[in-house]
Amino acid sequence: MHRPPFTPEQRRLALALALLVTIIALETMSVAVILPVVERDLDQLALYGWVGSAFTLAQLVGIVVAGRWCDRASPVIPLQVGMTCFVAGLLAGSIAPSMGVLVAARALQGLGAGMVPAVAYVCIGRAFDEARRPRMFAVLATAWIVPSLAGPALAPVVADRFGWRWVFAGLIPFCVVGALLAIRPVRLVGAPAIVNERRSTGAGAAVTLALGAAVTLAGLGAVSSWWGLPLVIGGIAVGARPFLRLTPPGTLTARPGIAAACAVKGLLTFSFFGADYFVAYGLVNVRATSTVFAGAVVATGSFTWTAAAWTQERLVLRTGPRRLVIVGLGVIAAGYVVMLITLSDAVPIAVAFAGTALAGFGIGLSYSPLSQAVLLDSPPDSIGASTSAVQLCDTLGVSLGIGVSGVIVTATDGLHNGARVGVAIAWVMCIGVALASMVPARGVHGANVSVRVPPA
């Protein structure tokens, strides 16, 4: 099928959105690497985990608020608010006198980091027709490649030579330039032609959901204590109602259509990131490789994710999203079966490259088609709400996947060969989730029957 090129206006919008995603991705990848240095300086280990959790939980709020805001107004307004929050968070992080202030700064950064991708999805839905959307999703996937490599490599150098605070402060000029470049093309996207005045912003529900997720994650982290399980149950109880309010009806049962796409997106990220997060841990602590080798193995998955994103861009208009999603889930499962085998000392450690390459290719095949399916099924006045729902499930899947896998690995820590056993059980769980997700994936939009290729 002929794939039309971007128009000049679409090229400018694509460049602006890709630049903003690159900046946010660079911050995300860089901060994780320098956190040990930050903790030694600020000396508050108890808040170490919350530096990351505050970012993720605030992202949930930003995703929901910006997505629904875009259904009522031009996306340029939430874009400006999101980038302002992100820059303010970077500034606060660069001068943070304590870990508590840094946690608050990361929450501000997360709020902005949630709003910007939500705006990007709405812009894709409004400014790009069905024939061009897959290519735009591939562009955004590619925007993560440089940060995945440069962030972990450059952040320690900056922290060592200039101090860790410059990892935050150094990004501020790039944020300002990126925001200024994005304002005009995003403004041209405009407001929706039809506005549903009865739809709320969802801010209250988003905050309650984030609170429930925070309590659940805290309970997962303390599941070995007597109060861990009650926290998990309480967190789920608090978050259940707002989750149902912010996602399409039938999400929990994977009702065919948008609901199925949202449900599968959460299961997809749960299975991939729940396993991927412990790849380096397994290689270093089970097979005694160097951190450099482990990093190279993880980076392989980033490259194949991007390669698959461009592969789906060529295939999705012909096959439809459903088939790519199902195949991608199967490839993810196959990749982590290979990784499972590498936990044996009898298997050459180089086989790990094949495992992460397969897993990365699998999520690259299935990740963007789910967003494409949501846009295909979403009414024009609900693009923001629909895309924010699928991103919400995406983020929750990542958090819960890592959290549950972390509980498994921690619980086996005192056993003989505990690291090997824990990682193996976590990977088996994630493999099972990926394979089981192929059933609800049958409810994802099947074919792009409505695609009409306009002239360039």
Report the distance separating Cα 402 and Cα 71, nearest Å.
32
Listed by start position, the domains of the chain span 1-189, 202-246, 253-456
For residues 341-354, average pLDDT: 94
Which fold would CATH assign to domain 1-189?
Answer: Growth Hormone; Chain: A; (1.20.1250)
Asked whether the predicted pLDDT for residue 7 surpasses 70, the reply is yes
What is the torsion angle, in degrees rounded to the nearest 10, for the CA atoms of residue 172, residue 177, residue 178 and residue 182? Answer: 140
> How many C-beta atoms surround the C-beta of residue 145 within 10 A?
17
- Show the DSSP H helices in 43-144 as ranges: 48-70, 76-94, 99-127, 133-142
Fold match, 1-189 / 253-456: yes
3-state secondary structure at position 223: coil
pLDDT digit string (tens) for 244-276? 999 999 999 999 999 999 999 999 999 999 998
3-state secondary structure at position 416: coil
For residues 190-211, average pLDDT: 76
Asked whether the predicted pLDDT for residue 450 surpasses 70, the reply is no
- Provide, rounded to the nearest whole percent, the portion of the chain with pLDDT above 90: 48
* Nearest partner of 39 among 107, 108, 103, judged by Cα: 103
Q: How confident is the model at residue 214 (pLDDT cuts 50, 70, 90)?
A: confident
Report the distance separating Cα 256 and Cα 233, nearest Å.
29
What is the separation of C-alpha 382 from the centre of its chain, rounded to a whole number of angstroms?
21
What is the separation of C-alpha 424 from the centre of its chain, rounded to a whole number of angstroms?
24
For residues 368-388, average pLDDT: 87
Residue 191 exposed, middle or buried by CB count within 10 Å (0-12, 13-18, 19+): middle
- Retrieve residue 274's tokens: 């729940």
Write down the pLDDT at residue 33: 73
Asked whether the predicted pLDDT for residue 397 surpasses 60, the reply is yes
Q: For residue 6, what is the DSSP state? A: P
Q: Please count the CA atoms within 13 angstroms of the CA of 374 that sit on its side-chain side.
A: 34
Which pairs from 351-354 meet CB under 8 Å and 24+ separation?
352/279, 352/283, 352/287, 352/297, 353/296, 353/297, 353/300
b (16+ CB within 10 A) / e for 326-355: bbbbbbbbbbbebbbebbeeeeeeeebbbb
Assigned architecture for domain 253-456: Up-down Bundle (1.20)
* Nearest partner of 56 among 261, 217, 242, judged by Cα: 217
Q: How confident is the model at residue 49 (pLDDT cuts 50, 70, 90)?
A: low
* Nearest partner of 370 among 318, 316, 424, judged by Cα: 316
Asked whether the predicted pLDDT for residue 104 surpasses 90, the reply is yes
- Provide, rounded to the nearest whole percent, the portion of the chain with pLDDT above 70: 93
Write down the pLDDT at residue 57: 87
Q: Please count the CA atoms within 13 angstroms of the CA of 255 that sit on its side-chain side.
A: 9
For residues 126-145, average pLDDT: 88
Asked whether the predicted pLDDT for residue 3 surpasses 70, the reply is no
- Please give the residue that has the higher pLDDT: either 251 or 317: 251
b (16+ CB within 10 A) / e for 255-293: bbbbbbbbbbbbbbbbbbbbbbbbbbbbbbbbbebeeeb
Angle, CA of 326, 328 and 330, to the nearest 5°? 75
Write down the pLDDT at residue 46: 64
Instruction: Please tell me the total number of residues recorded for the chain in this structure.
Output: 456
Which residues fall within 8 angstroms of residue 44, CB to CB, at 6 or more apart? 98, 99, 100
